[in-house]
Amino acid sequence: MTQTRQGTALITGASSGIGALYADRLARRGYDLLLVARNRERLNTLARDISTRTGRAVEVFPADLNDALSLASVETRLRQDASITLLVNNAGIGTHTPLLDSDVEQMTRMIALNVTAPMRLSYAAVPGFLARGAGAVINISSIVAVSPETLNGVYGGSKAFVLAFSQSLQHELADKGVRVQAVLPGATATDFWAIGGLPVENLPAHIVMRAEELVDAALLGFDRGEQVTIPSLHPVEKWNSYEAARRAMAGHLSSNTPAPRYRAAP
């Protein structure tokens, strides 16, 4: 049983997989929990288990974040509950279907859940964090944010938004006592793959990380103050070089004249 009181962590997509593991690990760290997902039965089972093992207060908040009214109810809770010190935007869906073979309505729902929901929930949470001088947001992105050719393009685009949004928000909040971390999982052993039509057993074993190891690594990155955490990337100098090149390029991206390579030959 944990004695330290860290405030309350609101976790979306908390009923299974990565979200459920964040719930377990954060309760062990002393957080009370507010668990958000569609499946009330799973939430109740998880809440009882975590509360029994850790002694933390665990509340369930059944909500479908693709439904405007449900999303608004979670936003209201974030605005009004001053005990919330951590928001984990984990809820999301994906697909392995090629872009042009995908149903456009499904892609629209994906954008609503993967992009609109974490954006709106962050907007709801951060002003309170700022007013209290402390708080944090953990946004679950994906390696496809920097490797869009890997999976479906709408999924990759949605996760690229999460990464860019997180980096921009952290830039704005850097000196205000509020932290933002983007976590970019690689292939992870959860039901994400089966739901998308490709059971994880069909993937090469050497690229699939256990979800427990993913969450533990991500939280270690959080403890170290990382803004972007990629647990499966071993040569960290690759990311450091990527980020250095991106930042170095930023000052050269606007000009009042086209680059010479785009000028017509005389």
Residue among 31, 155, 242, 262 flagged as catalytic: 155
Q: What is the pLDDT of residues 46-85, one digit of tens each?
A: 999 999 999 999 999 999 999 999 999 999 999 999 999 9
What kind and span of H or E run contains 34? strand 32-37
Confidence class for position 189, pLDDT limits 50, 70, 90: confident
The runs of H, that is alpha helices, within the chain are: 17-28, 40-54, 68-80, 104-111, 117-132, 153-173, 192-195, 211-223, 236-250
Q: How far apart are the first and last CA of the chain?
A: 77
Contacts of 162 (CB under 8 A, 6+ apart): 89, 114, 115, 118, 139, 140, 141, 142, 145, 182
Residue 131 lies in a domain: yes
The DSSP code for 96 is: -
Contacts of 161 (CB under 8 A, 6+ apart): 114, 115
- How many CA atoms does the CB half-sphere of 16 hold within 13 Å? 13
Residue 113 lies in a domain: yes
- Calpha distance 101→214 (Å, rounded): 31
Q: Is 3 helix (H, G, I), strand (E, B) or coil?
A: coil
Q: Is 6 helix (H, G, I), strand (E, B) or coil?
A: coil
Max Cα distance, the chain (Å):
78
Q: How much is the pLDDT for 62? A: 98
Q: What is the total count of domains within the chain?
A: 1
Residue 247 lies in a domain: no
Compute the average pLDDT of residues 216-241.
Answer: 98
Residue 217 lies in a domain: yes
Contacts of 114 (CB under 8 A, 6+ apart): 92, 93, 155, 158, 159, 161, 162
pLDDT at 201 over 90: no
Name the residue range of residue 94's domain: 8-236
Burial degree of 92 (CB within 10 A; 0-12, 13-18, 19+)? buried
pLDDT at 265 over 90: no
**CATH at 160:** 3.40.50.720
Average pLDDT, the chain: 94
Residue 99 lies in a domain: yes
pLDDT at 196 over 80: no
Cβ atoms of residues 135 and 178 within 8 Å: yes
CA distances to 97, 217, 264 from 20, in Å:
26, 15, 57
pLDDT at 3 over 80: no
pLDDT at 4 over 70: no
Residue 249 lies in a domain: no
Residue 250 lies in a domain: no
pLDDT at 103 over 70: yes
The answer to whether residue 123 is catalytic is no
Instruction: Give the predicted TM-score (pTM) of the model.
Output: 0.94
Burial degree of 43 (CB within 10 A; 0-12, 13-18, 19+)? buried
